[in-house]
Amino acid sequence: MKIIFKNKKPNRRFYYILFGFLLVAGAGWLVWQKYKYKIVGDTLKEHLADKTNNLYKIKYDSLSFNEGVGNAYISNIHIWADTAKIKTMNSDSLPYMLLDIKIKSVQVSGVKTLSALAGGSLEGDSVVIDQPEISIYTLRPVNRQTKIESEAGTVYKQILGNLSRIKLNYGFINNAQVSAFNFFGKDKNFNIKNIKIKLDDILIDSTHNLDTTRTLFCRQAAFVIDSFITFHNNRPELTINDIDFSGKHQSILFNKIKLNVFGAGSTDSIEFITAKNLQFSGLNTNDFVKEKRIAIDSITCSEIFLNPPPKAFFGKNKNAEDVKDTTGFFHVYSIRVNALSFPKINMATDVKSKYAVGQAAIKISGVHAAQIINLKEQPIEHSGELSIALSNVGWASEDKLYSYGLENISVNSKSKILHIGEAAIHPLLDEKAFAASQKFQRDRYDVNLKDITLSGIKMEDLVKSKLIAEKLLINHSIAKISRDLTKPLEEKSKVGNYPSQLIQKLDFPIFIKSGLLNNAFIQYREHEMVSDSTGEVTFSNATLTLSNITNIAEKVKEDNLFNIHFKALALNKIPITGNFKFYLDNKQGAFLANGNVGPFDAVALNKVSIPMALIKINAGKINAIKFNFNGNDVQAHGDFVMRYDNLKVDVLKRDETTKNIKKRGLFSFVANILIKGSNPQDGQLRTMNPSFERNVYKSFFNLVWKTLFNGMKETVGVP
């Protein structure tokens, strides 16, 4: 409709109406400007009380906004829950958490504030929240059915009421502080200090859950945290400093981590782990929030320091309830990690510990567990491949006479191989000083094993202190043993110290199906009292094959024989092969021993016979030696045959004045008359059945040697 004004002045009534309208509008504007903050504040309080069933309350110091440009500012906000009301609710209706929120200020830009408060939508440019302090009180643990975003949405609806849609370009939370407690026990769960959070493209409505590019309402998130601390019985347990998260790069970096462990006492604690630059890459935040699954591509850490507590630290009655999962996290969340790499792990050397441990490295791939608690309790079973390398381990014997060491240790769960570059037993004193330090005769050992491989192992067995393997291979072995016979023999029984019996005494289960020692060198030296000189027996180029090394009862029932087959050159010239068989289920130490010695020049035995028996062999050839013995803890006996030709000897003595060894003419003449120079002799082969009653103060090998020696003496005809 078109209105045409004629050239006529408005009547007076029009001015009255216009004036009245302006007056009312002006008065309304003045009233609004004076009371708008109270009106909006009262509306917020009523809204909050109504939507939370009077569970939450709100107060603040000041509220200001400019509805024209869409800016708003609220200072000193406090939103808290009525805890008295919670105590009247039954357990099924309890919320998962309560919040107590204090905020220094909230600043909103680019929002039509009045429309947002009156309606159900808030859209704008940005929100800046400054210095919030949030206290979280957990009332019940999370379970598998708990929808985290739904629970977060419930809290959101409780506090913000009709605002069913929030859309902002940018959000920033500055210097937030978060503390979490168990509501009923008042125990601390965790503290977070100085959080700065940046959120991009925020959307909260009924469709945001369907957008897989969003996590907890936003498309991209980033935050930095000064520190995160979890508690164990209100004592700091896990402390993380300088956390940096980037949703865009799907990574989170922890600059420094410290983990304390606690003993049986109320104040006992040890700084167990310190780590630097721990980084999680390929972190799927949607899986974490929506599926309660920790999904990570890789975890790396530049350096880890371990300070293992002693076993006694925990005491005998460590209560499992001390570490129960009050949040449900360990029993609800699953975990998948493609790769973990910890290339530099160092361990503390406790002055009270006898062990010194070098640098370690760990690599793990294919970690997967339906619940985190499964991984915590059975880490090996839930890892695809685990590789551990350790530079060295060293310790000293309790008597301070030896140092023990392992070098370049590595183990891999996929290849099922444990490799040790070198294992050594080093005496700290030379032979003379060692003997001088002892009151009685004692063997001195100097052992070095190189390139040791155990194959067919199971990593989970190692974790449980079991050694189960298909095969043991040692490519280079040196064992040097010496004894000073000028010292008195200690009257201490060695019954129970046969190789098989020592295996039974190990304090951990062991089963090695077979073993092979290549390139072995064995040396035995005795400083004799009569000759005042040292005799030496060596076995070079030795090969030892072992089978059924075990102390596990089930394995012993399947096969009760521990076998050692050996092949070597004695004294670098004499070929020898043989077998030892030990009955693992026999408490009397029953064993079998047999051997064959090939042809050699008898003169080669002078290296042993002169210092040990004061007999010099002038001529003769040993064609073969064969023996087959049975024995136990106290004796050995069996069959012995030695074939030889043209044996001639000299009997020696040590001069009392000069200490030189010289020939005893008459005794040598008589000896060569008495001994039988050959076997067979006159077409008759002499076979012997030597026996020997064991000196229980001496070793297994002494028993075998003495039985052999008796067979030799009887064959030659020496009384």
Residue 378 lies in a domain: no
CA 379 to chain centre: 9
pLDDT of residue 14: 46
Q: Give the end of a domain, one of 248, 268, 292.
A: 248
Residues 699 and 639 in one domain: yes
Amino acid at 131: Q
Tell which phi-psi region holds residue 638, choosing left (phi > 0), alpha (psi between -120 and 50) or beta: left
Where residue 212 falls among pLDDT bands split at 50, 70, 90? low
Residues 229 and 95 in one domain: yes
Residues 51 and 196 in one domain: yes
Residue 423 lies in a domain: no
Average pLDDT, the chain: 81
Residue 646 lies in a domain: yes
> What are the b/e assignments for 241-251, b being 16+ CB within 10 Å?
eebebbbeeeb
Determine the Cα–Cα distance for residues 707 and 637; give it in Å rounded to an integer. 7
Residue 54 lies in a domain: yes
pLDDT of residue 188: 85
**Domain count across the chain:** 3
Higher pLDDT, 407 or 231: 407
Higher pLDDT, 263 or 452: 452
Q: Which two tokens stand for residue 683?
A: 């077409």
Query: Dihedral through CA 375, CA 381, CA 387, CA 391, nearest 10?
Result: 80
Residue 422 lies in a domain: no
Could you give the count of Cα atoms lying within 13 Å of 280 in the half-sphere of its Cβ? 16
Residue 186 lies in a domain: yes
pLDDT at 240 over 60: yes
Residues 361 and 488 in one domain: no
Q: What is the pLDDT of residues 51-89, one digit of tens each?
A: 444 566 777 777 676 666 777 778 888 888 777 777 777
Higher pLDDT, 606 or 288: 606
pLDDT at 716 over 80: yes
Q: Are 706 and 593 in contact (CB under 8 A)?
A: no
Where residue 311 falls among pLDDT bands split at 50, 70, 90? low
Q: What is the pLDDT of residues 158-197, one digit of tens each?
A: 555 555 667 788 889 899 998 888 877 778 888 999 999 8
pLDDT at 208 over 60: no
pLDDT at 599 over 50: yes
Domain containing 491: what range?
431-716
CB atoms within 10 A of CB 522: 20
Determine the Cα–Cα distance for residues 282 and 298; give it in Å rounded to an integer. 7
Q: Are 618 and 650 in contact (CB under 8 A)?
A: yes
Residues 623 and 663 in one domain: yes
Q: Which two tokens stand for residue 280?
A: 């999680």
Residues 176 and 299 in one domain: no
pLDDT at 322 over 50: no
Q: What is the pLDDT of residues 461-501, one digit of tens each?
A: 888 889 999 999 999 999 999 989 889 988 889 999 999 99
pLDDT of residue 317: 45
Residue 379 lies in a domain: no
Residues 516 and 659 in one domain: yes
Q: Give the end of a domain, one of 203, 227, 248.
A: 248
In angstroms, what CA-CA distances link 196 with 47, 156, 178, 244, 279? Answer: 29, 20, 12, 10, 19
Reduced to 3 states, what is the DSSP secondary structure of residue 633? coil
Helix (H) / strand (E) element for 391: namely strand 383-396
Q: Give the end of a domain, one of 212, 233, 248.
A: 248
Residues 64 and 176 in one domain: yes
Higher pLDDT, 346 or 671: 346
Residues 236 and 264 in one domain: no
Predicted TM-score (pTM) of this structure: 0.75
Determine the Cα–Cα distance for residues 266 and 57; give it in Å rounded to an integer. 39
- Of 496, 514, 513, whose CA–CA distance to 505 is shortest? 496
Q: Are 175 and 222 in contact (CB under 8 A)?
A: no
pLDDT of residue 33: 46
Peptide bond into 236 cis (omega under 30): no
> What is the C-alpha R_g of the chain?
43
The DSSP string of 272-307 is EEEEEEEEEES--HHHHHHS-EEEEEEEEEEEEEE-
Where residue 4 falls among pLDDT bands split at 50, 70, 90? very low
Determine the Cα–Cα distance for residues 223 and 197; give it in Å rounded to an integer. 4
pLDDT of residue 389: 94
pLDDT at 16 over 50: no
Contacts of 512 by beta carbon, 8 Å cutoff, 6+ apart: 454, 467, 468, 469, 470, 471, 472, 546, 549, 550
Residues 240 and 350 in one domain: no
Residues 340 and 199 in one domain: no
pLDDT at 584 over 70: yes
Place of tokens 């985290």: 148
Residue 101 lies in a domain: yes
Q: Which two tokens stand for residue 422?
A: 């070198």
- Of 480, 484, 431, whose CA–CA distance to 611 is shortest? 484
Higher pLDDT, 615 or 402: 402
pLDDT of residue 324: 58
Where residue 672 falls among pLDDT bands split at 50, 70, 90? confident
Contacts of 630 by beta carbon, 8 Å cutoff, 6+ apart: 590, 591, 592, 636, 637, 638
Backbone angles phi and psi of 711, in degrees to 5 = -65, -40
Helices (H), 367-458: 372-377, 431-436
Q: Are 637 and 688 in contact (CB under 8 A)?
A: no
Residues 165 and 18 in one domain: yes
Q: Which two tokens stand for residue 449?
A: 């094993």
pLDDT at 551 over 90: yes
pLDDT of residue 158: 55
pLDDT of residue 598: 92
pLDDT of residue 44: 46
Where residue 213 falls among pLDDT bands split at 50, 70, 90? low
Determine the Cα–Cα distance for residues 128 and 74; give it in Å rounded to an integer. 11
